[in-house]
Every structure is written in C-alpha cells, then in structure tokens.
A and B are shown apart, each in its own frame.
Chain A
C-alpha cells in the first residue's frame, strides 16, 4: 500500500483565496483524521471521520474551515477564505478502528502558506 497520500505537498496562496487540501487514506481504514501543526500550538486535531461520517469537529477553528469525506477513499479540507494565520502544516491520517484501536498512519503533510 502506498500509505496515506496528501496533495498538494506545498501550497502558497493569497489571503482571501479558497484552499482545498486533499487526502487519500489507506485502503480498508475506516477512520480519518485531519491535524494542523504549528510552532505555537503544536499538533491539533481538527476533525475526524469514522465510516465517512464526521464524529468530532470540535477542533475546527472557525466556520471558514470545512471538511468532507464523500467516500471511503477520499477526503478534503477546505479553507474559505484563507488568512495568513492559517499558515501551517496540515496532516491527514487514517486508522482501522476495531476491537483494539490501531495506530494512525500519517501522510507527508501539506505545507500551507497564506500571504
């Protein structure tokens, strides 16, 4: 398996523009997580899905952020409109949730810079 695949790896956009980050989880995994990593706040859980359903979005910072998982093999995180303070590395991770929680497998991340 190729692992969790995120695209793009780097994104530079102007303030006010819409940004869409994409994630393909590991085939067969039924949980998907979006995390944001910054120097100031560390690694924050934004939202997680189980069986394509959003379970907990309490970490989503504002209404400007939205996430979808239309099927088991694809998820998006959208920021509209983007602001400079959204600059961070965004990670997607997936896991297989069963009787014993397995670990989360991480993608390489998308480094977002909003200027």
Chain B
C-alpha cells in the first residue's frame, strides 16, 4: 500500500525567499512520485514527477524535487518565490498499479 504525508498544511514565505514543501512517502514497491499544484477554482496540474530515471527532478515554473530513498522523502523546492506561486500543492504516490494517492496538501502563501 502507498501513502504520502505532507508536513505543514500552510507555509508562508517572503517573495524572493526559498520555498520548501515537505513530503514523505510510504510504499511497499518502488514508487512513482508526483507534485501537483492547484490554483483557486481550478483542477490540479502536474508540476513534476519522479519515475526512477533521476533522483533530482526539475519541473515547471522553476520548481524541483529530490527523491531520497533513505529518507523516504520527495521535498519540493524553489530558490526564489514569486507572488504567482501562491497556491495549494499536493504530493502524490503510485505504485505498481494505476492508483494515485494524494497527500493532504500544503497551502503556500507569499508575502510581498
């Protein structure tokens, strides 16, 4: 069975500061891991995904995430926050089957 835990339901950073959103996963098989972003009144869209090709994954809008098997983590980072990054971010995991399980989400706020 797979699951993800997102630490921190709300993160607030200043514009230009580092963004770090935490995600830990649990999986009985080698996982596929995803980060999605949801803007208000929108569906979810993919930021990036890990499929075992490389441990450091680069996504859209300057985001990246590093897969660390020893820590069972897949934290999302961005060096410099922009006001447009304010949104809800979801970590997700799937295993050998199609089933994709999402974390509880982290709301990112950006202070001017």
Bound state CA distance, A101 and B97, in angstroms? 8
Looking at chain B's contact residues, the main secondary structure is strand
Number of interface residues of B (CB under 8 A): 22
| Contact between A101 and B44, CB atoms less than 8 A apart | no
CB distance A33 to B100 under 8 Å? yes
- Give the residues from 30 to 86 in chain B that come closer than 8 angstroms, CB to CB, to chain A: 32, 34, 36, 42-46, 49, 51
Report the minimal beta-carbon distance from B48 to chain A, rounded to whole angstroms: 9
A107 in contact with B43 (CB, 8 Å): yes
Which listed residue, A50, A100, A106, touches B44 by the CB 8 Å rule? A106
What residues of chain B lie closer than 8 Å to A108, measured between beta carbons? 42-43
User: Which residue in B43, B45, B51, B90 is a CB contact (below 8 Å) of A101?
Assistant: B51
- Distance in angstroms from A103 CB to nearest chain B CB is 5
Query: A91-B43, A91-B44, A109-B43 given as contacts; is B101 within 8 A of A103 (CB)?
Result: no
Cα distance, A4 to B45, chains bound together (Å): 12
Does A104 contact B90, Cβ atoms closer than 8 Å? no
* Residues of chain A whose beta carbon lies under 8 Å from any beta carbon of chain B: 4, 31, 33, 35, 42-43, 45, 48, 50, 55-56, 91, 93, 95, 97, 100-101, 103-109
**15 A–B contacts from the bound complex (CB under 8 Å):** A4-B43, A31-B98, A33-B100, A43-B104, A43-B105, A45-B99, A48-B99, A55-B97, A55-B99, A95-B98, A97-B97, A101-B32, A103-B46, A104-B100, A106-B36
